[in-house]
Amino acid sequence: MPTPREIWETEFGAAPRRDADFETMSGIPVEPVYGPDNGDFPGQFPYTRGPYASMYRSRLWTMRMFAGFGTAEDTNWRFKEIIRAGGGGLSTAFDMPTLLGIDSDDPMALGEVGRCGVAVDTLADMEDLYADIDLGEVTTSMTINSPAAVIFAMFVAQAEKAGIPRARLGGTLQNDILKEYQAQKEFVFPPRQSMRLVRDTIAFTSAEMPRWHSVSISGYHIREAGSTAVEELAFTLANGFAYVELALAAGLPVDAFAPRLSFFFNAHIDFFEEIAKYRAARRIWARWMRDRYGAEDPRSMQCRFHTQTAGVSLTAQQPELNIARTAIEALAGVLGGTQSLHTNSMDEAMALPTEKAARIALRTQQIIANETNVAHVADPLGGSHYVEALTDEVERQAEEIFAHIEELGSGSMLEGAIKGIEENWFQGRITDSAFELERKVNEGRRIIVGVNAFTEGNDEEQIPLLRITNEDEQRQRKRLDAVRDRRDTSKVDAVLARLRSEAADPEINLMPTLIEAAQAYATLGEIMSAMGSVFGRHVEVPTF
């Protein structure tokens, strides 16, 4: 029987190695991992120390910076800049109307078009957004949830129109609707109807798009909405279990879809607790996937995740201090073994970032990657009495939360997640935790530099901020008018009528018809309304 170290040595030996000198600044050689021969190793169940044997020795994390503003043409220009600058992948931010599935000329869209991201109304916008970008080579991440199936249909339609078959497309659709009801609140349809669309995208990508990540299960927004680290971890993994049960119920074998599930976590300022959270996440996911859901493929058990530093930790006071906060948070993500990372810009408590602020944020990652040598060793804090104890405790508390959700669902995590949303349980806990933190700050029990202590310097001149005008809104409306004028309306009506009838039959996978609707240049708002006429709308009971 080979020891865990021997197994690790074989796997590490087979992995590619990046070209760097793995030594300290004094010239002391550094091993790829440290620990007893019979202990835990990265790349081995339960993956506490990392999903891969070689971790950053093979490849550094992907520095994936999120961008999107104005019209599709504006963002396409920014994307090409990112690719020229050596960015590893694209990450698309959509504006609020797009996130809520309404058109740029809808009265509710007033003041929001192109502001927090790019506006996409029809296939024509999608064509301009990715024009002259080889989507068979670059991977694309799309942060979209309620209308994810529709935007994804437009994406597939435009790629195929550009000559790239869907099977070659690689990337990630956020498509995590459960956390929308719990935290981010960009919901449209009721939970059960939305979950049907998630099921359709998982089934569609499993069958036709082997390189695509169908759901990015996201704790980031849960944390930003005010949860604790333990709640972020537990709610996110519980949502993951719910999607697994959803796909299993649709008849998909677990190893057919689970390898394409990925995660997205927050990196907040409590350094060691964050690292413990990432380690616990990998261990819990591995155990549940193997023991409860019967996964056999190791990739189904490996929790791979993207990390973003905490927007809520940034202060409007003395904004330059946010560079330091972001650096500490990013370091936690790296020591926790993240697969990709977005660092926030110092001005984001006040506005979308300026180009300079965004560049400093990216440079912060490059300092960690190239100057600190922290990426030499996998899980460098593994074996620390403190970090191991904290990892165990975070896992134990998360299991308590899973037990509660399972009870809510009478044994089903899927039902528990939906019940918890319908009964406002997740939302209530998040608000309670947000208020509790606020109370500690107000009482001075928790210090935030520049806010409730060390405020000298708060009155100094502010840093320059990005200003966005309303011109984009006018331009986008004109673009949409032009599409409405030149498309074949009878074709649009026919496909929308078919979509309505198929939406009423939960056995049907809606993806093929959504792609046809995109090809007919039906607008996002029209497609969402057609489904909404069958699905209804979700209304949250306002509580505080």
- Provide the binding-site residues for another protein, judged by CB under 8 A: 96-97, 99-100, 102, 107-112, 115-116, 180, 184-187, 224-226, 312, 315-317, 349-352, 430-431, 434-435, 438, 441-442, 448, 450-452, 462, 465, 467-468, 470, 539-544
Residue 175 CA to residue 198 CA, distance in Å, equals 7
Our CB check for another protein shows the closer of 225 and 284 to be 225
Our CB check for another protein shows the closer of 102 and 198 to be 102
Output the furthest CA–CA distance in the chain (Å, rounded). 73
Contact 306, 264 (CB under 8 A): yes
Our CB check for another protein shows the closer of 326 and 340 to be 326
Instruction: Report in angstroms the alpha-carbon separations of 168 from 37, 134, 211, 381.
Output: 41, 11, 7, 38
Residue 312 C-beta: closest distance to another protein, Å: 8
Residue 394 C-beta: closest distance to another protein, Å: 22
Residue 87 C-beta: closest distance to another protein, Å: 25
Q: CB-based contacts of 171: which residues, under 8 Å, 6+ apart?
A: 89, 135, 139, 140, 141, 142, 211, 212, 213
Residue 222 C-beta: closest distance to another protein, Å: 11
Our CB check for another protein shows the closer of 112 and 329 to be 112
Supply angle C-alpha 380, 383, 389, rounded to 5: 115
- Quickly tell me which residue has 């607008």 as its tokens: 523
Q: What share of the chain is helix, strand, coil (3-state, %, to 5)?
A: 50, 10, 40
Our CB check for another protein shows the closer of 21 and 471 to be 471
Residue 465 C-beta: closest distance to another protein, Å: 5
Our CB check for another protein shows the closer of 94 and 305 to be 94
What are the tokens at 515?
Answer: 């792609």
Short-list 186, 147, 110, CA closest to 477? 110
Encoded amino acid at 182, one letter: Q
Our CB check for another protein shows the closer of 442 and 489 to be 442
Our CB check for another protein shows the closer of 226 and 337 to be 226
Residue 100 C-beta: closest distance to another protein, Å: 5
Q: Are strands 139-143 and 305-309 parallel, antiparallel or unpaired?
A: unpaired
Residue 28 C-beta: closest distance to another protein, Å: 44
Our CB check for another protein shows the closer of 43 and 226 to be 226
Residue 142 bridge partners (DSSP): 92, 173
Our CB check for another protein shows the closer of 100 and 198 to be 100
Residue 402 CA to residue 405 CA, distance in Å, equals 5
Residue 14 C-beta: closest distance to another protein, Å: 46
Residue 281 CA to residue 112 CA, distance in Å, equals 36
Q: Is the dihedral of CA 24, 30, 32, 36 positive or negative?
A: negative
Q: In what order do the strands lie in the sheet with 340-342?
A: 62-63, 340-342, 305-309, 261-267, 215-218
Residue 330 C-beta: closest distance to another protein, Å: 21
Query: For the chain, how many helices (H) and strands (E)?
Result: 21, 9
DSSP code string of 175-208: ---HHIIIII----S-HHHHHHHHHHHHHHHHHH
Q: If residue 267 lies in a helix (H) or strand (E), which one and from where to where?
A: strand 261-267
Residue 342 C-beta: closest distance to another protein, Å: 18
Residue 367 C-beta: closest distance to another protein, Å: 27
Our CB check for another protein shows the closer of 62 and 75 to be 75
Instruction: Report in angstroms the alpha-carbon separations of 238 from 82, 327, 360, 416.
Output: 35, 29, 35, 9
